[in-house]
Amino acid sequence: MRKCYDVPMNPSAWIGAALAAMLLVPALVGCDRDNSGAPGATASGAGATASGAGATASGASATASGSGSKDHAANTASGAAPQPPEPMGDAARGRELATKHECHRCHGGLELPPIAATSHCVRCHIDVLAGKFDHKTEALGWRKNVAHLIAVPSLAATGARLDYAWLVRYLADPRDLRPALEPTMPRLGLDAQASRDIAAYLVSVGKTAATSPTTEHDALSGADDARGRKLIDEFQCGACHRMSGVDELAATSKLEPGKRETRAAVMLAPDLRFARERMGNAELVRWLLDPAAVKPDTLMPRTPMTPEQARDIAGYLMRATLAPQAVVAVPEALPLLERKVSFDEVKARVLDVTCRHCHGDPNAAFGDGGPGNTGGFGFPARGVNLTSYEQLMAGYLDSAGERKSLFAKMADGTPRIVAALWARHRELAGAPNPELRGMPLGLPPVPPADIQLFATWVAQGRPR
């Protein structure tokens, strides 16, 4: 089997790599690509707009779409070979792992041991924005700074919606699914077995037995896909959704943009190109007819429609020919600055923006230094505290528990902490760095101009 996407990416090699990626595209056809498993397949225009950090969608395209592991195997527009079946994981172990990895600090809809309001990332952020978080007088000032983790899809009724094999691949190698949502599912370091076990647990959540094999099989028979597309435009699904790879969906209706629920619904609406990978035909038709009947806490409103209309829409979503996803390029590194850079600048423009919220000072936060310091999301304590000059200099704990410098050079000469910032750009471009997790974890990448500032400060000897 041939690997599809193996372009070396490091700060000095981007231009070459980007070029190579484009030139290699024709050669990729026929490699061992399975669309969703292929790193190059990351979200498209979606990633480009959502990151807002200069991720440019290049014209080069490296993937076809469609996969099949359920009754929709025949829907693949690309004719890609079906996936080998994914062995079923152990749901009980999966539940333990989900607890250990604290999925429910971000996601609702799972019945796991409760997470205190004071550590639930999303709950607390929503409370801060709503003015309900009464904690000293700083609280009001904090409101303007909370930008992320205010809407995260609930995982309720996953078993009635999402495909097992898709979940396994996604957990091991998450990609951007929602054009209007900046955070992505973080790479949690789950190996293949852990991903299977957790996926097995997820599909046991709200599993329905409502389907009979005949309805599964016939869900799309007689569907008029062209009429389905007309209905999608008529019903204004585009008010919330995008569907990359087809002509833009009509969106003229006025949602109530001021309402929090509306904003959250738009943020949480997936790019509809992925529906065919994630859902089976029958699940999709049921969803369209009445989303809340499938998932009670969903923010997708019910659009009154007949079963025939739902079938036609499903036909279009499952079978419309999709243009290949645009490749999100890793932006080019900027040359070091000529001027002097101070620590205060680095702190203000990088460390204080997102980093310190996960790499905090445990003394100032009831002993919890955040997932990047004292541990969380299943990560052991890595001891990275990014709140002060001294702490930054104190480094990190490696896998043997030894303190190492955050400025040690990687093989290509990039200081470790700077490499972690580039690794986040690479993740969004579908080429994660196997040695280093991208930072900030699951959040929009640091813009190249700010990485340039950080790299310059390091190169100047890290003055105080």
Choosing from 33, 169, 286, 295, the residue that interacts with ligand HEC (CB under 6 A) is 295
- Only segment of 32-40, 56-64, 287-295, 323-331 that touches ligand HEC (CB under 6 A): 287-295
Residue choice 270, 280, 315, 324 for contact with ligand HEC (CB under 6 A)? 270
Distance between CA atoms of residues 9 and 21, nearest Å? 10
- Cis-peptide, bond into residue 440, ω within 30° of zero: yes
5, 14, 274, 457: which one contacts ligand HEC (CB under 6 A)? 274
- DSSP conformation class of 328: E
Query: Is residue 316 within the footprint of ligand HEC (CB under 6 A)?
Result: no
Burial label, 389 (beta-carbon count in 10 A; 0-12, 13-18, 19+): middle
Geometric angle at alpha carbon 381, from 375 and 383, rounded to 5°: 115
Rounded least distance, CB 188 to ligand HEC, Å = 5
Dihedral Cα 94, 100, 101, 102, nearest 10 deg: 110
440 lies in the binding site for ligand HEC (CB under 6 A):
yes
276 binds ligand HEC (CB under 6 A): no
Task: Give min distance, CB of 20 to ligand HEC, in A.
Answer: 27
Footprint of ligand HEC on residues 158-197 (CB under 6 A)? 167, 171, 176-178, 181, 183-186, 188-189
Alpha carbon 188 to its chain's center: 11
290: left (phi over 0), alpha (psi -120 to 50) or beta: beta
User: Which window, 15-23, 318-326, 335-343, 441-449, contacts ligand HEC (CB under 6 A)?
Assistant: 441-449
Q: Decide: 428 and 42 in contact? Cβ < 8 Å.
A: yes
Considering only residues 11-40, where is the footprint of ligand HEC by CB under 6 A?
none
3-state secondary structure of 379: strand
Site for ligand HEC in 93-122 (CB under 6 A): 98, 101-103, 105-107, 118-121
Contact, 153 vs 107, CB < 8 A? yes
Q: Which of residues 414-433 bind ligand HEC (CB under 6 A)?
A: 416-417, 420
Q: Which of 159, 280, 383, 442 binds ligand HEC (CB under 6 A)?
A: 442
Closer to ligand HEC by CB, 25 or 264: give it: 264
Which among 8-16, 73-81, 283-291, 326-334 is the span making contact with ligand HEC, rule CB under 6 A?
Answer: 283-291
In the complex with ligand HEC, which residue's Cβ is closer, 18 or 172? Answer: 172
- Residue 28 or 350: the one with the smaller Cβ distance to ligand HEC is 350
Pairwise CA distance, residues 352 & 319, whole Å = 46
| Size of residue set near ligand HEC by CB under 6 A | 89
Least separation in angstroms between residue 168's CB and ligand HEC is 10
Regarding 149 and contact with ligand HEC (CB under 6 A), the answer is yes
- Work out whether 152 is an interface residue with ligand HEC (CB under 6 A): yes
224-263 positions binding ligand HEC, by CB under 6 A: 232, 235, 237, 239-241, 255
Q: Quick check: 57 binds ligand HEC (CB under 6 A)?
A: no
Q: In the structure encoding, which two tokens stand for residue 165, read together?
A: 């094999």
Cβ nearer to ligand HEC, comparing 7 with 355: 355
Query: What does the alpha-carbon distance between residue 316 and residue 318 come to, in Å, rounded to a whole number?
Result: 5
- Cβ–Cβ < 8 Å for 3, 32: yes
Q: Quote the CA–CA distance of 34 and 314 in Å, as a whole number.
A: 23
Euclidean distance between CA atoms 127 and 119, whole angstroms: 12
- Sign of the C-alpha dihedral, residues 47, 49, 50, 53? positive
Nearer to ligand HEC, 16 or 131 (CB): 131
Query: Which pair of tokens denotes residue 253?
Result: 């209706």
Max intra-chain CA distance, the chain = 71
d(CA 106, CA 398): 26
Among 57, 128, 289, 322, binds ligand HEC (CB under 6 A): 128
Stretch that binds ligand HEC, among 70-78, 298-306, 325-333, 426-434 (CB under 6 A): 298-306
